[in-house]
Structure 1
């Protein structure tokens, strides 16, 4: 019996690599989507799939909101989360919210294929070493690129505070906050402060 799997990820390389590993045995048929709206559209028009894999930080996900939508759209069939940046806490929340599993992108190919089979068979999969915290980074890739001060400013943006309010909270000059916002937008590839806050939220930054 052929397994039908939908891989939704905004990175072409990730989608293609996953599809290549999964299609190798000739028993799996993979379809791809680059963001959540496309994934939901494919679930509606071509689903339900035996398994849907969603990238936690791709466009449209808004954290675990996307998982809820996909679970509703895939007709009760399993939906798993894949991520290169999410922490153990996010993995736990995803499983509690009904995800069939959580796959760090660092998983070796063989483990990945086994994990997919597990989830498609109705089992819940999460790597023990990751869930026990042995592999859990102190901070995510997303946070690693930011200075402590930038993180403080970013939290202010996420709380929809003005530069003036953030400056007052951090006891800094408003012009300093402006500079930090500019740097944050550059580092996060954000169009503006609201976009930066949304990118941070999608990455699970708190």
Structure 2
């Protein structure tokens, strides 16, 4: 069983590889960005399952998932995330994902989920999918990706691009790109206006 894992967190990626390799029946390959995942999908023999981190560089949320599904030649693609909401998981499954794995899933359950999806079944944890959200969804929040929300929260806290980049272990250039897209989505001309819109919407 051949598995490709694409995640930008080295420790988590290595831990995933270790869990799966310990099964003995799995051959795992790991990369840190969506672009590297695309290279492997195009160059390697087909994988039984491709696991993509929702927030890694280049992923652009569900856009990356859909692109990977389209180019995979029938290969099965699933999302893994520590931050994605139930709505994102539902949208991913609707878009054709083989499943959704929260990073909080216990190791044994994770291995079983990977096997399940590699065999052609669709997987998502029942407790995650049926959990009742503590808060009503915010219409403004639904327009933004998880990373854009993180950047916007930093703006409302008066943080600089450098501080936001450091908080989330991303580059300042990446912060600027996210700011550009979130400005467009919320209808703001600058960071002050974006912060005000977020506060008025009761987002933070």
Distance of aligned partners of 1:41 and 1:152 in 2 relative to their CA distance in 1, 3 Å threshold: closer
Contact map agreement 1:185 1:196 (CA 8 A) in 2 = no
Q: Show the counterpart of 1:118.
A: 116
- Structure 1 residues 1-206: aligned runs within 5 Å: 3-133=1-131, 151=153, 179-180=158-159, 184=164, 187-188=167-168, 189=170, 191=172, 194-197=176-179
Contact map agreement 1:4 1:29 (CA 8 A) in 2 = yes
Contact map agreement 1:4 1:50 (CA 8 A) in 2 = yes
- Give the TM-score, by structure 1 length: 0.72
Distance 2:92 2:99 in 1: 8
SS in 2 for 1:102: strand
Contact map agreement 1:47 1:74 (CA 8 A) in 2 = no
Distance 1:184 1:71 in 2: 32
- Give the TM-score, by structure 2 length: 0.72
Of the two structures, which has the highest relative contact order with CA contacts closer than 8 Å and spacing of 6 or more? 1
Measured after TM superposition, the shift of residue 48 of structure 1 is 1.6
CA RMSD of aligned residues (A): 3.2
Distance 1:199 1:137 in 2: 28
SS in 2 for 1:86: coil
Gaps of 5+ in 2: 138-145, 184-202
Q: Tell me which stretches of 4 or more aligned residues in structure 1 moved more than 2 Å.
A: 136-139, 150-154, 179-190, 192-201
- Which structure has the bigger radius of gyration? 1
Gaps of 5+ in 1: 155-176
| Number of residue pairs the alignment of both structures matches | 172
